[in-house]
Every structure is written in C-alpha cells, then in structure tokens.
Amino acid sequence: MTEEPFDLNVMLHGYPKTAEVFGVSWLHKQWPTVEEQLCRYRPWMTQAEKDFTLLESLLSPFMIIPAYRIGLRDISQFLQTAYEIHGSALLASIASGIELHVPKGDESNKNFDVRAQIHGVAIQADSKTRDDTDIFSERFRVMSPEGIRYYSSIIPETTRP
C-alpha cells in the first residue's frame, strides 16, 4: 500500500487545525524547508488534529495557538511539543476547565505545561520527554491495578514554594 503524497495542499486541508497552529502564511513560506520532516511526522499530526479538537472544547484557538506555535515550528522540538499537546488533550477530555503554560508562581519564570480542573481539583502537569532520574527514580514507579506502569512524584514540603 502506497502512502498518499504529502504536499502543502494535503497539509492545509488534511490537517487544518495543525496548519492553523503553524500559521498558514508561515507554512507557505517555509514549506520547501519543512516538507520532508513534516511528512515523517504525519502520524503525530493526525493525532494532533484530534487533540486540538479536544482542547478546543475548553479553549479558543487564540489560547491554543500561542501555546504551541513556537514548539511546532522548531522542527527539533516538534515531537516534544506533540507529546505535550497530547497530554494536555488527554487531561482536557476529563476536565471541566484547562489552562496552558501556567506560571509556577515562583521567581523561576518557569511554567506548568497545563493546569486542569478535574472534579474540583486543580491538577498541574508537565510533559517530560527525557529521563529525569532525580524525580522519577525506581522508588516512584507505580503499577496500576490494570497493569499500566507510570511514574509519580511529590514535591517534598521543604521545597514547595
């Protein structure tokens, strides 16, 4: 089975939400330099289309676009940004409210990738695409009753802002 050809028209019409986040005029200008990479990322763009639909159930595109445009345009950061979008969309699917890139509230100028309101509880989350052995050490590995392995960590009281 041969894959459908990938060109700017396919990008604009097959992935309209993702194209909007990239910026249509930017795609027109940059297409010769990003076409090959984006073609490789088609499975993630297919997922991003679904994820943007979930996010748009709680946020306007005017809140989504600035949160992800820079990360998607930087091809070296595309996958990390796609994972962040997916994690935010998963939370959005069960949240009553969501915010993107929420300041942590300290002097670090860092932010959480997403804050979701789930059953009246604020959940702040970060998407990590690297091995962070200081936080996610063996002692924090957890196995759910369904057999799903995940990592959990708690910021010790002494280091909380």
The answer to whether position 2 is within a domain reads no
For 51, phi then psi, to 5°, come to -65, -40
The answer to whether position 104 is within a domain reads yes
This prediction's pTM? 0.77
The total number of structural domains that make up the chain:
1
For 24, phi then psi, to 5°, come to -60, -45
The answer to whether position 107 is within a domain reads yes
Give the pLDDT confidence of 17-43 residue by residue, as tens digits.
999 999 999 999 999 999 999 999 999
Give the pLDDT confidence of 62-91 residue by residue, as tens digits.
999 999 999 999 998 998 999 999 999 999
The answer to whether position 19 is within a domain reads yes
State which residues form the domain around 122: 8-159
The answer to whether position 145 is within a domain reads yes
b or e along 137-159 (b: 16 or more beta carbons within 10 Å of the residue's beta carbon)?
Answer: eeeeeeeeeeeeeeeeeeeeeee
